[in-house]
Amino acid sequence: MCELFAMSSRMPSTLNYSLTEFSKHGGLTHKNKSGWGIAYFEDNDVFLVKEALPASDSPLAKYVAGEGRESNCVIAHVRLATIGTPTLKNTHPFRRALGGHMHVFAHNGTLKNIHDDMDRHSLQHEPLGDTDSELGFCVLMDRMQPLWAQYKGGLPSVEDRLSVFTEFASEMSQRGSANFLYSDGDTLFAHAHRRIYEENGGFSEPRAPGLSIRNCVSCQQGPEYACDGLNLQLKHQSTTLLASVPLDDSGWEPLPEGVTIAIQNGDEVARMET
């Protein structure tokens, strides 16, 4: 069971993020937490910090929590390994370059039999690690590549990018839980499916919702949003948050199972169903 988080805002916002505290929102109390990572977009590039250690044992994670880095798009992940050993190459988020942009991807769930059905060596974007998640990301990048090649350094339309992402998410959701966060630096994409919940000392069967969403213009109280593990300076602007489970008791809405969304500059701009 992994925990996902993303933020998109119109202008760069200052975000302090405690991965140790954040993981508790989803009930992630097991000692075998397998790693963590957080990606901050800046222009077309990304500042990525990740580590194959429990955040609670990491001085680097404590540094990230206190730094307060600015970005207008952030993707974070706390991992509990299912497929792939707890090593750096298997730690989310994953990144690849395409079309002059850095692309970042994180996944909550398990894509069953993907290694049996997909030849990793036939992909142009070949995985470094052993996870089902990174292999799925490389499949997505290969499917995005012809679209981006048409624009020769420009941006494909949001609708075209969302269409490719939605088709990919629909296929992957047939393999198991497929909650995805993906960004090319211009647009944040998400797919909500089903997730496992920690209950009564064990794990439930996967069920919806897999992601929840909050718009921090309609529900903010002042220029700051704060909860356990997160402090965000909103600067009175459009800001949208996504998380595996709501981070507090107000303003969050579950995303319907099988929906994909596109968020630009803090506002949802498109939605499709798989």
The predicted pLDDT at position 27 comes to 46
Tell me how many domains the chain contains. Answer: 1
Residue 241, amino acid: L
Q: Which of 2, 73, 138, 216 is catalytic?
A: 2
Residue in the structure block whose two tokens are 């992630």: 28
Which H or E run contains 42? strand 35-42
Q: pLDDT (tens digit, 9 = 90+) per residue, 141-184?
A: 999 999 999 988 789 999 999 999 999 999 999 999 999 999 99
Mean pLDDT of the chain: 88
- Contact of 162 with 154, CB cutoff 8 Å: no
Spatial distance between the Cα atoms of 113 and 232, rounded to a whole number of angstroms: 39
Q: pLDDT (tens digit, 9 = 90+) per residue, 206-244?
A: 889 999 999 886 455 567 788 877 888 877 788 999 999
Q: pLDDT (tens digit, 9 = 90+) per residue, 181-199?
A: 999 999 999 999 999 887 7
CATH number of 107's domain: 3.60.20.10
**What percentage of residues in the chain have a pLDDT greater than 90?**
61
- Rounded to two decimals, what is the model's pTM? 0.93
Q: Tell me, yes or no, if 73 is annotated catalytic.
A: no
Q: What is the span of the domain harbouring residue 124? A: 3-273
Q: pLDDT (tens digit, 9 = 90+) per residue, 74-124?
A: 999 987 767 778 899 999 999 999 999 999 999 999 999 999 999 999 999
